[in-house]
Structure 1
Amino acid sequence: MRSRAAIGWLLVLAVTATLLIGGGVWLSNTFKSAFAPGLSFGCTATVGDNSYSLALDQSENTALISAIAVQRGMPARAASIALATALQESKLRNISYGDLDSVGLFQQRPSQGWGTVAEIMDPVYSTNAFFDALAKVPNYVDLSINDAAQIVQRSAFPHAYAQHEPVSRSFASALTGQTPHGLNCTLPPASGASTADTVLAAAQLAAGPLDATTSTADAGTTLHLVVSDAKGWMMAHWALANAQQFGIVQLSYDGWQWDRNANSGVHNVGWQAVQGTVPGQVTLLLAPAPVG
């Protein structure tokens, strides 16, 4: 009996070790450096010599949080703090469970006055709630990212946010528009697209009111978003981070273009310099509707 029990424990330990190693590989592939072309789809933020990658659903939430920071007139530092917090609390996923009654991107608790479960599960609401609390922290821009996050969250693990500073700062820099063409996404081929009205409504939810025009041709529907210089690259990167869910196949802004076909499968060329972009416009080409 003892020998069987020993064998059982060895099997448990072996499985546990495998899971831990696999988890470590997953974390490495998720957060550090650019993913290998052709092996996975996601988005990479590059600032200087440093590159960090996130999965597509994480990138969408990152873009939303960063856009709301810009919409509120908050600095990129605020976005970095929010991203580090959400990475620690939920891995940047809008989950409906957590410790005690915690839910959502920031694991906010209804019992602690953050709102109802339904409100907190709305990423726009929960992000604004986080920024409302952060804005009340005196001189938060001068604090470390970890300390500012901890003052808002009051976590039982007060030093846990620091580990996410490099990736959060890189994505915040790109997605608030501080680093032009600093975000690249590798995506599968588009299988369809949202309507221009749907994309515009989502963009306005993230960034506030926008003027826009549309045109339609065989290649698909083109949506032109009129932007200020302050919001130009933020809006372009927001659209790129959401290109998978909206069926965006091409993006252009300020003399640069991103093409889905050039960043699909084994390809990963990023933004390319082009001629003929319209000043003050982020131009999105949506995939044509399927035939039949």
Structure 2
Amino acid sequence: MSKKTLAWTVALVLAIGLLGFGAWKGYDYLMSRLVRERCYVNVDGSEQLQLTAEQSRNAAVIVAASYKADLPAQAAVIALATAWQESGLRNLDYGDRDSLGLFQQRPSYGWGTEEQILDPWYSSGRFYEELVKFDDWENRGITEMAQAVQRSGHPDAYRKHEENAIALAGSLRGTRPASLSCVDRTDTPGDPAAFADVVAQVPGVTSTVDGTTVTLTSDDDAALWAATQLALANTRLAGIESAVMPGHTWRQGNTTTWSQGSPDGQPGVGTLKLRQ
């Protein structure tokens, strides 16, 4: 091959390489605009539930509060369906008459003070306090029990949230592994305190912090997944970049799913990496 031919060949290879790199960067940029900053929950094989950072944080508190009250997952399902209908999983400082908060509880009806009701931990706990007063509540319908607690003027309105509440509660209670992930493009610095309160409610889970690495350990797979996905629901506040679990890996980017296969994963251990 002549020097001239060789030079043309090298130039062609470089040009193709640059075009390929440009195409990849263009695809990455396009995906960064198409995939919204959200937390995503796989409802089934083809459908994803999308939550804002506020909604996912509030959902994490509602579910963590069910652990704190030592209640089964069904309590969290009922509470999520209720809050979805009443506030859209937002901690509203307004409502019908004096209704406030996630569950639109009313100070005038004895739910607590305005300040208390606007605390998601308090309002979730109060919801559960009322729920367990009903006989056989855990074996009755979701909409029936939501209405029993809330006494709404629209008693069937909770029904449309049942499927999403079941899927989200399953993710945050750990019975649906690798079903929740989040896309966040902020530069939020790592802050393990942003999810320490929700993780602490999961029984049998130990959490240790070493710089920007949080290690979760548990002999119970469901508890380990619950703690991990409760933490991920706070990705935007906590600056979480990646999570490694036995058999699965999630990394911050433009993907809304976990990757199967985790060569670094250890049985009973979940590892969260936070931004520097």
TM more than 0.5: yes
Find the aligned partners of 1:233 and 1:214 in 2 and give their Cα distance. 18
| Aligned counterparts, 1:158-197, within 5 A | 158-194=155-191, 196=192
Change (3 A) 1:178 1:134: same
- Secondary structure at 1:250 match in 2: strand
Q: Mean alpha-carbon deviation: is it higher for 139-148 or for 272-281?
A: 272-281
Determine the structure 2 residue equivalent to 1:94. Answer: 91
Structure with larger Rg? 2
Q: Find the counterpart in structure 2 of residue 234 from structure 1.
A: 226
C-alpha deviation, 1:215, in angstroms: 2.5
Say which of 26, 34, 44 aligns to 2:40. Answer: 44
1:120 aligns with 2:133: no
Q: Does 1:284 align with 2:272?
A: yes
Residues 211-226 of structure 1 correspond to what in structure 2 (within 5 A)?
A: 211-216=206-211, 221-226=212-217
The TM-score normalised by the length of structure 2 is 0.80
Pick one of 124, 128, 132 that aligns with 1:131: 128
1:275 is displaced (CA, Å) by: 1.7
- Relative to structure 1, the CA distance from residue 108 to residue 237 in structure 2 (aligned partners, 3 Å threshold; closer, same or farther) is same
The 8 Å contact of residues 184 and 271 in structure 1, kept in 2 or not, is answered as no
**Percent identity (aligned):** 37
Give, in angstroms, the shift of residue 212 of structure 1.
Answer: 3.0
One-letter amino acid matched to 2:210: S
Aligned with 2:241 (options 236, 243, 249): 249
Residues 165 and 212 (structure 1), Cα distance of their counterparts in 2 relative to 1, 3 Å cut? closer
TM superposition outliers: structure 1 runs of 4+ over 6 Å:
none
The structural deviation recorded for 1:52 is 2.0
Give 1:85's match in structure 2, choosing from 71, 77, 82.
82
Tell me which amino acid in the other structure corresponds to 1:46: N
Alignment correspondent of 2:146:
149
Query: Does residue 202 of the first structure (1) align with residue 190 of the second (2)?
Result: no
Cα 1:208/1:123, change in 2 over 3 Å = farther
Q: Which residue of 2 is the match for residue 74 of structure 1?
A: 71
Which blocks of at least 5 consecutive residues in structure 1 are unaligned?
Answer: 1-35
Query: What is the alpha-carbon distance in structure 2 between the residues aligned to residue 37 and residue 65 of structure 1?
Result: 31
Asked whether 1:259 is paired with 2:274, we answer no
RMSD across aligned C-alpha pairs, in angstroms? Answer: 2.2
Report the Cα distance in structure 1 between the residues aligned to 2:99 and 2:203, rounded to whole angstroms.
Answer: 28
Q: Give structure 2 stretches of 5+ with no counterpart.
A: 1-31
Q: Deviations over 1:51-76 (max 9, x none)?
A: 32222211111122112223433222
Q: CA deviation at 1:242?
A: 0.6
Distance 1:119 1:159 in 2: 28
CA-to-aligned-CA distance 1:196-219 (integer Å, 9 cap, x gap): 4x2464345654795333333xxx
Match of 1:240, as an amino acid?
L
Could you tell me how far apart the structure 2 residues matched to 1:102 and 1:209 are? Answer: 37
Contact 1:51 1:170 in 2 (8 A): no
Secondary structure in structure 2 of the residue aligned to 1:138 = coil
CA distance in 2, matches of 1:47, 1:210: 26
Distance 1:66 1:130 in 2: 12
Answering whether residue 227 of structure 2 is matched by residue 273 of structure 1, we say no
